[in-house]
Amino acid sequence: MSGSLPVTTDGYARLQEELKNLVRIERPKVVQDIAEARAHGDLSENAEYDAAKNKQGFVEGRIKELNDKIARAQVINPAEINTEKVVFGAKVTIVDIDTDAEVTYQIVGEDEAEIKDGKISNTSPVGRALIGHEVDEEISITVPSGVRVYEITNIEYS
């Protein structure tokens, strides 16, 4: 993979913590599981061995992926941003013009996105539509139910 990967300081810490857990806890556990399964004898009919090898493949693949993401990470601390426009890391409050429904999203990296926590990816349709706009601007966003018009009522960086 190439190019930088924008990530908030919280998201970067979570990536590092997951990597640490995989290297220090999960990897040794998988090695132990493989050793135990081997002790049971014939490997050709050993489901425990196959499961442990599959888990080892997953763990090693995830470690490689996390190392790559951490190496490419462009860590952005939203509290240090000083702009009137929506950029990566912003917490943006928008109001649906038709229904007056208000929602607040934080624009984060793909690995950090969690809609139930109000965190959307900067590459999502809503995230892309919000970036570059200011308070009191109306924006049209294409969502699964059609085109919705929202007004940005607040932008904060913390």
> Tens digits of per-residue pLDDT, 55-110?
999 999 999 999 999 999 999 999 999 899 999 999 999 999 999 999 999 999 99
Q: CATH number of the domain at 19, please.
A: 1.10.287.180
Verify that 134 and 90 share a domain, yes or no.
yes
Instruction: Give tens-digit pLDDT for 141-158.
Output: 887 888 999 999 999 998
Domain end (from 76, 102, 137)? 76
Of 43, 76, 109, the position where a domain reaches its end is 76
85 phi and psi, to 5 degrees?
-95, 160
Mean pLDDT taken over the chain = 92
Instruction: Report the CATH number at residue 129.
Output: 3.10.50.30
Identify whether residues 89 and 144 lie together within a single domain: yes
Query: What spatial distance separates the first Cα and last Cα of the chain, rounded to whole Å?
Result: 30
User: What 8-state DSSP symbol labels residue 112?
Assistant: T
Of the candidates 127, 131, 128, 8, the one whose C-alpha atom is nearest the C-alpha of residue 79 is 8
The single-letter code of the amino acid at 44 is S
Total domains in the fold of the chain: 2
Q: Beta-carbon neighbour count of residue 51 at 10 Å? A: 13
Domain of residue 91, residue span: 78-156
Residue 122 in tokens: 């900067």
pTM over 0.85: no
Q: Are residues 101 and 54 in the same domain?
A: no
What angle (nearest 5°) sits at the alpha carbon of residue 119, between those of residues 113 and 122? 65
Tell me how far apart the alpha carbons of residues 155 and 28 are, in angstroms, rounded to a whole number: 45
